[in-house]
């Protein structure tokens, strides 16, 4: 078991190219592998199994650092914390009865620092950057990742550089800038911003913390899978619907389930992994439908669910592999269905989903109709950010207190 007084104990054995399996040493700064694919962190899981019994969790704080034996930080003093709570699994009872489902739970990731689950990945990436002596980090973002990077870098004393598409909502851009990042808008999409980071990396010595272009964000996102398993008493649901942009969360949870099985905490049963995208930006759905392992760049990407407006994902094959191995699928929903569902869940279940989260609920309704999801399945939907950071329809009913009020109007 990890002793707080020891600062060099961890179970990381090496990193591995997710495509070729080539081994890379831990404790060094890495971005992509030589073949341009994501690097995954590997652990000595036999040792984890021996030294990390489930009972070790008793008495640990309700935050994802409770799983630190399955995380890569070596020196606990490098852990950068902003209050990473375990997020609730909310029963969507009204939606469940309307759709006639056996069980719908919504994992509400909007409770995390900076209001989205990007905090999980960024907390890990920034803590590891601190450990590895990185001084400047840069990333492209549609908003939520940049907000998390700004906050965690400020906390860790690392400089951050953030590039957003120029149609990113002002509330996100201002939050990122206000939390201390050097913030720029770019007349292009997230992949165009990514290109600037890629070039500036050499010119300015930035560490590129783009989705899956460094090995540790996925380790943070992996904690969603461990936490979900723990909350369900180590019995995974039948299906997980995940709003998929870069896919880190889906890949991360899949990795978590495999590690949990190897350490004997769960059995071999897996949820069907269902990737949800918007019909205006659905490269993974297209590749899935066409039977391909890699996705093509999606042209003229458009959706109001900004977190899933990702025209090209470096981890496309990892997303598609997990979907297929789990007997899941990928599906797209229209923006209209997303916004209708967002309002419905807000008003009937009292849960303010972000549009990306609402996309999973819309996909659930659509796929019950199509027969690809059965009403008997226990499903978990991921709401990845607070709905509070997104535009809501205006409300303009007015009472003029200087005139007699007609109480029949209410
Ligand atoms: C980033 C983001 C996503 C997509 O997450 P990935 O794991 O990169 O696919 C979904 N929803 C929201 C709100 C996001 O910020």
In the chain, % of residues over pLDDT 90: 95
CA-nearest residue, atom 2 of ligand 1 = 307
What is the reported pLDDT for 63? Answer: 96
Q: Is 2 exposed, middle or buried (0-12, 13-18, 19+ CB in 10 A)?
A: middle
Domains in the chain, number: 1
Residue 76 in any domain: the answer is no
Average pLDDT over residues 98-112: 97
Condensed to tens digits (0 to 9), the pLDDT of residues 37-69 reads 999 999 999 999 999 999 999 999 999 999 999
Distance 307 CA to ligand 1 centre (A): 5
Residue 301 in any domain: the answer is yes
What is the chain's mean pLDDT, rounded? Answer: 95
CA-nearest residue, atom 5 of ligand 1 = 245
What is the reported pLDDT for 10? Answer: 85
Condensed to tens digits (0 to 9), the pLDDT of residues 359-408 reads 999 999 999 999 999 999 999 999 999 999 998 999 999 999 999 999 99
Residue 352 in any domain: the answer is yes
Q: What pLDDT band is residue 1 in, cutting at 50, 70 and 90? A: very low
What is the reported pLDDT for 234? Answer: 98
Residue 105 in any domain: the answer is yes
CATH number, domain at 358?
A: 3.40.50.1100
What is the reported pLDDT for 2? Answer: 45
What is the reported pLDDT for 9? Answer: 65
Please choose from 121, 210, 217, 249 the residue to mutate so as to test ligand 1's pocket, defined by most ligand atoms within 8 A of CB.
Answer: 249
Q: Which residues line ligand 1 (CB under 6 A)?
A: 116, 118, 144, 211, 243-249, 307-308, 354, 356, 384-385
Residue 208 in any domain: the answer is no
Average pLDDT over residues 79-107: 97
Rg of the chain over all Cα atoms, to the nearest angstrom: 21
Average pLDDT over residues 325-342: 98
Residue 264 in any domain: the answer is yes
Domain with 278 in it: 89-115+218-388
Two tokens, residue 256: 């978590």
Inter-CA distances, 263 with 15, 53, 269, Å: 19, 9, 14
pTM: 0.95
Condensed to tens digits (0 to 9), the pLDDT of residues 269-325 reads 999 999 999 999 999 999 999 999 999 999 999 999 999 999 999 999 999 999 999
Q: Is 215 within 8 Å of 15 (Cβ atoms)?
A: yes
Residue 242 in any domain: the answer is yes
């Amino acid at each position: 078991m990890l002793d707080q007084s020891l600062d060099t104990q961890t179970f990381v054995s090496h990193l591995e190219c997710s495509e070729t399996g080539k081994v890379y040493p831990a404790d060094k700064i890495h971005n992509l592998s030589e073949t341009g694919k994501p690097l995954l962190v590997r652990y000595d899981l036999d040792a984890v199994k021996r030294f990390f019994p489930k009972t070790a969790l008793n008495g640990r704080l309700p935050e994802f650092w409770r799983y630190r034996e399955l995380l890569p930080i070596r020196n606990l003093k490098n852990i950068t914390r902003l209050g990473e709570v375990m997020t609730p699994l909310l029963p969507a009872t009204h939606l469940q009865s309307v759709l006639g489902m056996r069980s719908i739970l919504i994992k509400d990731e909007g409770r995390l620092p900076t209001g989205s689950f990007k905090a999980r990945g960024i907390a890990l990436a920034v803590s590891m950057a601190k450990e590895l002596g990185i001084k400047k980090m840069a990333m492209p973002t549609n908003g939520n990742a940049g907000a998390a990077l700004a906050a965690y870098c400020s906390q860790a004393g690392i400089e951050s550089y953030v590039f957003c598409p120029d149609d990113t909502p002002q509330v996100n851009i201002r939050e990122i800038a206000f939390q201390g990042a050097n913030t720029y808008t770019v007349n292009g999409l997230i992949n165009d911003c990514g290109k600037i980071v890629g070039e500036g990396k050499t010119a300015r010595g930035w560490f590129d913390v783009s989705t899956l272009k460094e090995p540790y964000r996925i380790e943070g996102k992996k904690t969603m899978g461990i936490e979900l398993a723990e909350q369900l008493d180590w019995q995974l649901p039948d299906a997980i619907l995940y709003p998929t942009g870069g896919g880190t969360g889906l890949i991360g949870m899949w990795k978590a389930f495999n590690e949990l099985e190897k350490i004997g905490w769960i059995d071999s049963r897996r949820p069907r992994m269902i990737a949800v995208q918007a019909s205006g930006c659905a490269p993974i759905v297209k590749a899935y439908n066409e039977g391909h392992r890699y996705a093509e760049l999606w042209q003229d990407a458009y959706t109001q669910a900004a977190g899933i407006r990702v025209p090209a994902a470096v981890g496309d094959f990892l997303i598609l592999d997990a979907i297929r191995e789990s007997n899941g699928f990928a599906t797209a929903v229209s923006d209209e269905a997303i916004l209708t569902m967002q309002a419905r869940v807000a008003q009937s279940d009292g849960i303010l989903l972000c549009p990306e989260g609402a996309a999973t609920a819309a996909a659930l309704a659509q796929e019950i109709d199509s027969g690809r999801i059965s009403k008997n399945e226990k499903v978990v939907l991921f709401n990845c950010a607070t709905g509070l950071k997104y535009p809501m329809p205006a409300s303009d009913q007015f009472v003029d207190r200087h005139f007699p009020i007609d109480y029949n109007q209410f």
